[in-house]
Structure 1
Amino acid sequence: MVRLLTQQGQLIDWNDEKTHPFPDNLVYLDLLNPGRGEELEAEKWLEYQLPTREEMQEIEESSRLYMEKGALYMTAWIPVGLDTPDPENTSMSFVIAPDCLTTVRYADPMAFRVLADQVRRQCSTPLSSDAVFLTLLELIVARIADALQSVEGDMKKICRDIFNLDPHKAHAGVEKDLSDVVKLLGRRSALVANLRESLLSLSRMLQYFLNNAATWMRGDLAAQFRSVMRDIKSLDDYTNQQTQEMTFLLESTLGLINIQQNQIIKIFTVASVLFMPPTLIASIYGMNVGLPAAENRWAFVFVMLVIVLSAVLPIWFFKRKRLL
């Protein structure tokens, strides 16, 4: 699909075969899952080449940030599917020149849909390539901030849940709850790692843009670009804090699991100690090896009293030591 935005704020979605060339007053050209024909048509209008999908996957900074024929080629990792169970980062290219911004992408993040909705509602329609680029950056960063706030809410809930559990009560419900907490923390940790990777790539891309587009960028937008840079920096610091909090919660959860397992082992240990003296006495008496009281009719009663006493005394001792 090809989406066009003109200087007058007109949004054009071309999903079918093109019957006429692109208009001359474009400020934004968006290629979503482009076919080869759409790429060639866009390159013909732009008069420079666009990065291929294979080139967008390169990890070297020189392959992701460079200039060619007066246009800045910038590729960043953008989070997608943040509302789904399996969010991920996808590589997207921003090719910006003084007259037009071109994006090449193979996923549809919410920021691009929000931009289209804003234009359709005629909400402060951007009329230049750098203004469109700024709007996209603001929407992407705002989306990342919302995701981090959601993670913070989950961590607060996890903190309340795990510290309200009583690990000394060894039962299946506690074990299942703690197991679910570990799984949730693992998913949120992976999400924060993806968001941090995206923030790092956005920071590098924005810094490269500010260093190389200063000669033609609109002066009134420079302060807003710097504001976005500060937002990215603050969110990156926030991800560091969340990573530390999740590490603490994970260690606490694993500690509670260990306490619960130790409680189970303690129960079996105490039970074995309680039954050891009676078992020993009963075994000796049962072997019938000529006990002194073997001919006495009170021998059985005496032995049973000794067995009961040998069981009661350890129970009393463990109760006194608060081990039961």
Structure 2
Amino acid sequence: MITAYCYRSGAIHRRVIGPGDPLPEGCTWIDALKPTEEERTALTGALNVDLPSFEDMMEIEASSRLYTEESCSYMTAPVVANAETSAPEANALTLVLTPTTLVTLRYIEPKSIGIFAERLNRNPHLAATNVAALVGLLDTMVDRTADVLEVIASRLERLSTDVFDRAWPQETRGPATERKRPPAERDLQEVLRGIGKAGDLAGKVRDSLAGLGRVVAYVNAVKPSLSNDQKRTLKTVLRDIQSLTEHADFQAQRVSFLLDATLGAINIEQNNIVKTFSVVAVAFMPPTLIASIYGMNFEVMPELSWPFGYPMALALMVMSGILPLLYFKRRGWL
């Protein structure tokens, strides 16, 4: 779908155009969402520029995402979409700045595009020119990236609660029944998956910020005719990208820390299970020894002919099993 945004008489006019439709007058921004080959070819002919296909966008190397060709600037950066869902994705978004129009080519639906389109209804001057639309869109994309980082921070906060308030036994002076017991290993595996997803999203955001930072620096370099307001906006955007990059790095460190803590909690849970089996095995060793002794087939064993030999052997086995358990309990091993 191709949507044209035109600035006329101090207002933004939005229009969806088909492959055979001419471009409307005053068009400053054209948003091409998952364009078909026919739509892309028609748009290429209408603008007289070479618009890359989806395959071209995917094959662009990081060092070749920013270039100028025949008075048109091509800028490609990864963006994040569906950050609030369980399946976030990242894909390339290409910005083509022609002499009169800004073209966005995308096969992903980030919220920043919709947010910027809504902002144009309140502030039409944000797309009064193609350069103004580019600056405003970059500003909106960085603001949206900050929201995604807040989503990551919120997820990590919940995961941190799951790991430290539930996984580790809470220290308390109350009765043992009031203590929080650690969750099952299966619950910790769910936490581990959540940490992995948060880390993956943080990595996508970090890549997006790096790409946006290169785009902003490139715009400053190739557009010396920017107005003072636009230069100040881009300077603020670049400063925000730097601070958000540091915040993304901090979230990545939190992911690593929580990952280590969760793995430690899983190891402790497994060690507790092994300890239980070890205590049971040790408790049964003395009774097993006694039963083995009286199970030997020797002729001279006085207790075999003693009327109280069988009750005595049972009593010895019970006592030899209870005494190690009492010892373990006293030492705090149980």
Please say whether Structure 1 and Structure 2 have the same fold, judged by a TM-score greater than 0.5: yes
CA contact (8 A) 2:77 2:92 kept: yes
Task: Give the paired residue count.
Answer: 322
CA contact (8 A) 1:75 1:93 kept: yes
> What secondary structure is seen at the aligned counterpart in 2 of 1:31?
strand
CA offset at residue 167 of structure 1?
Answer: 5.0
CA offset at residue 7 of structure 1?
Answer: 3.0
Question: Which residue of structure 2 aligns with residue 312 of structure 1?
Answer: 322
Q: Report Cα offsets for 1:150-200 as digits up to 9, x if no partner.
A: 111111122122212255699894323211110110111111111111111
Counterpart residue identity of residue 118, structure 2 = D
Question: Which residue of structure 1 aligns with residue 293 of structure 2?
Answer: 284
Residue 295, structure 1, aligned to residue 296, structure 2: no
Change (3 A) 1:228 1:219: same
Question: Which residue of structure 2 aligns with residue 179 of structure 1?
Answer: 189
Question: Which residue of structure 2 aligns with residue 162 of structure 1?
Answer: 163
**Structure 2 Cα separation of the partners of residues 299 and 108 of structure 1:** 83
**Structure 2 Cα separation of the partners of residues 70 and 16 of structure 1:** 26
Q: Percent identity?
A: 33
RMSD: 2.3
**Structure 2 Cα separation of the partners of residues 49 and 308 of structure 1:** 89
CA contact (8 A) 2:29 2:127 kept: no
Question: Which residue of structure 2 aligns with residue 152 of structure 1?
Answer: 153
Q: Report Cα offsets for 1:95-149 as digits up to 9, x if no partner.
A: 1134221111122221222222233345554301121111111221111111110
**Structure 1 Cα separation of the partners of residues 313 and 40 of structure 2:** 96
CA offset at residue 91 of structure 1?
Answer: 1.0
Which ranges in structure 2 are unaligned for 5 or more consecutive residues?
Answer: 170-178
Residue 3, structure 1, aligned to residue 3, structure 2: yes
Question: Which residue of structure 1 aligns with residue 92 of structure 2?
Answer: 91
CA offset at residue 4 of structure 1?
Answer: 1.5
> What secondary structure is seen at the aligned counterpart in 2 of 1:34?
coil
CA offset at residue 213 of structure 1?
Answer: 1.1
CA contact (8 A) 1:79 1:88 kept: yes
CA offset at residue 62 of structure 1?
Answer: 4.4
After superposing the two structures, state which structure 1 stretch, 28-37 or 65-74, moved more.
28-37
> What secondary structure is seen at the aligned counterpart in 2 of 1:230?
helix
**Structure 1 Cα separation of the partners of residues 313 and 116 of structure 2:** 88
Counterpart residue identity of residue 6, structure 2 = T
**Structure 2 Cα separation of the partners of residues 251 and 61 of structure 1:** 32
CA offset at residue 64 of structure 1?
Answer: 1.3
**Structure 1 Cα separation of the partners of residues 295 and 208 of structure 2:** 75
Change (3 A) 1:7 1:123: closer
Question: Which residue of structure 1 aligns with residue 265 of structure 2?
Answer: 256
Question: Which residue of structure 2 aligns with residue 210 of structure 1?
Answer: 220
Q: Report Cα offsets for 1:43-90 as digits up to 9, x if no partner.
A: 333332112222211242443111111111111111112232211111
After superposing the two structures, state which structure 1 stretch, 157-166 or 195-204, moved more.
157-166
Change (3 A) 1:42 1:304: closer
Change (3 A) 1:300 1:107: closer
Structure 2 matches for 1:216-235, cutoff 5 A? 216-235=225-244
Change (3 A) 1:83 1:315: closer
Question: Which residue of structure 2 aligns with residue 143 of structure 1?
Answer: 144
Question: Which residue of structure 1 aligns with residue 175 of structure 2?
Answer: none
**Structure 1 Cα separation of the partners of residues 238 and 309 of structure 2:** 90
> What secondary structure is seen at the aligned counterpart in 1 of 2:302?
coil
